[in-house]
Amino acid sequence: MLVDGMALLFRAYYATATSGYIRRTKSGIPTNAIYGFIRYFWDAVQNFDPTHVICCWDLGGSTFRGQQFSAYKGNRPEAPDDLVPQFSIIRDVMDSMGVPNISAEGYEADDCIGTLATQFSKDMDVMILSGDHDLLQLVSDRTTVIIMKKGHGNYKAYTPESLYEEKQLHPRQIIDVKALMGDASDNYPGVRGIGEKTAHKLVQEFGSVDGILEHLDQVSKSVRVKIEADLDMLLLSRKLAEIHCCVPVACDLDICELSLDERNVVDKFEELEMKSLCHLLGVVV
């Protein structure tokens, strides 16, 4: 199981912060996101029973996408002050559980996940845990993408069959749809005036962005004019939407086998004053 660390951490933070209560240690260190992260993470472990686990993270700072398009993710607010110190602490927590933390400078967690999924799926089945639908482009016969839905313990597992059943798209076509419609969350526009519905229809009819461009004469005039006016942005948006699967990261299987060292776990959870989580993990205190 490849875990999208930031997706879980942000979800866990906002699930509790909206109530106005932030869990803290006696010394004032915020731990609400860490506490929620472990609950989400362990619920997924119990539900899907992976033998090996890796957690992937964004490093912050510039990425190759930001170099290609300076406004990439430029609309995102700064992380809340109470969340910032938890970025490093959660990595220590995962270390205590024997789960490797993987990241790569200049790349996003998605790229690390894509690279590791490509490597491991040659020999074994891979699960990806996230709330980010961008990762659906990585679905394959050996890779299932598990999307966390609203509510604790609520998941949708996507295989090539279930993805097509729900969206009438093949995994790689997720990239083409995003290239056309853009992504407000990541702050790139795609083709102005083309929304999700039209993007889906075009990709379903012509197969891909390349297929659309090869048959522009068959596209309605209003859509054709929009594509021709924003052709450069369409091609750039496709680059931004595609997860890179050749990032310089690797992890040996024996390192990521899920096997808790109970003493390490107890020590770390006691340090963070969240001893009750030991019982959740079945660790004897």
Is residue 68 pLDDT above 90, yes or no?
Answer: yes
Question: What homologous superfamily is domain 173-241 in, according to CATH?
Answer: 5' to 3' exonuclease, C-terminal subdomain (1.10.150.20)
Asked if the model's pLDDT at residue 151 lies above 90, the reply is: no
- What local confidence, expressed as pLDDT, does residue 21 receive? 86
The pTM assigned to this predicted structure is 0.95
Using alpha carbons only, what angle is made at residue 271 by residues 284 and 12, rounded to the nearest 5 degrees? Answer: 90
pLDDT digits (tens, 9 = 90+) for 237-285: 999 999 999 999 999 999 999 999 999 999 999 999 999 999 899 887 7
Strands 126-130 and 2-4, by their bridges, are parallel
* Domain residue ranges of the chain, discontinuous segments joined by +: 2-163+243-280, 173-241
pLDDT at 129: 98
**Confidence grade of residue 39 (pLDDT, cut at 50, 70, 90):** very high
pLDDT tens digits for range 155-166: 999 999 999 999
Residue 151 CB contacts under 8 Å (≥ 6 apart), including other chains: none
Task: Name the CATH topology of 2-163+243-280.
Answer: Rossmann fold (3.40.50)
- The 10s digit of each residue's pLDDT in 23-35 is 999 999 999 999 9
User: Is pLDDT of 38 > 80?
Assistant: yes
